[in-house]
């Protein structure tokens, strides 16, 4: 739309009007990665070890998830899930609406890349801290999401 989201060097996330450059809102929290926009929410990985889902219009937090090991990568949305890696830990799968974890995968020494998605092939790709490239399929297996390698 008419909004630009900027992660500032001053430890803030800004929402700026694209036409006039006016700051519409700002929130305390720095980050290395760009936001991910999906529907009425933006997903933001902070340098303080949290992942936030924010309302696009006003920056209000819909939910917060505290990363358990390291700093989170950029969030990607895959089939209703917020997917991201931890620099020292797991690949996490959260319900994008609630922030509740539904699955995780431990590659051994963390995840160094933002996960990439191929919706058509049903694959998730990422690079681990050991420089291994993973191709993973995540499917719904009653009663939960189960990530597994193919």
* pLDDT score of 1: 79
Q: Is the pLDDT of residue 84 over 90?
A: yes
**What's the whole-model pTM score?**
0.88
Q: How many CB atoms lie within 10 A of CB 52?
A: 24
Q: Is the pLDDT of residue 10 over 80?
A: yes
What is the rounded radius of gyration, in angstroms, for the C-alpha atoms of the chain?
A: 16
* pLDDT score of 138: 76
| Structure tokens given for 148 | 């597994």
Residues 11-70: tens digit of each pLDDT:
999 999 999 999 999 999 888 899 999 999 999 999 899 999 999 989 999 999 999 899
Q: Which distant-in-sequence residues (6+ apart) come within 8 Å of 94 by Cβ?
A: 51, 65, 81, 82, 83, 100, 101, 102
């Amino acid at each position: 739309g008419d909004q630009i989201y900027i992660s500032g060097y001053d430890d803030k996330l800004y929402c700026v009007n694209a036409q006039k450059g006016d700051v519409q809102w700002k929130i305390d929290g720095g980050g290395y990665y760009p936001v991910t926009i999906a529907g009425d929410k933006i997903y933001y990985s902070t340098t303080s070890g949290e992942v936030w889902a924010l309302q696009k219009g006003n920056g209000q937090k819909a939910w917060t998830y505290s990363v358990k090991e390291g700093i989170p990568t950029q969030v990607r949305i895959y089939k209703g899930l917020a997917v991201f890696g931890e620099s020292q830990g797991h690949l996490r799968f959260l319900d994008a609406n609630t922030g509740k974890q539904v699955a995780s995968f431990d590659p051994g020494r963390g995840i160094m890349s933002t996960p990439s998605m191929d919706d058509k092939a049903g694959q998730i790709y990422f690079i681990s801290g050991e420089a291994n490239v993973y191709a993973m399929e995540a499917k719904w297996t009653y009663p939960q999401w189960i990530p597994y390698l193919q």
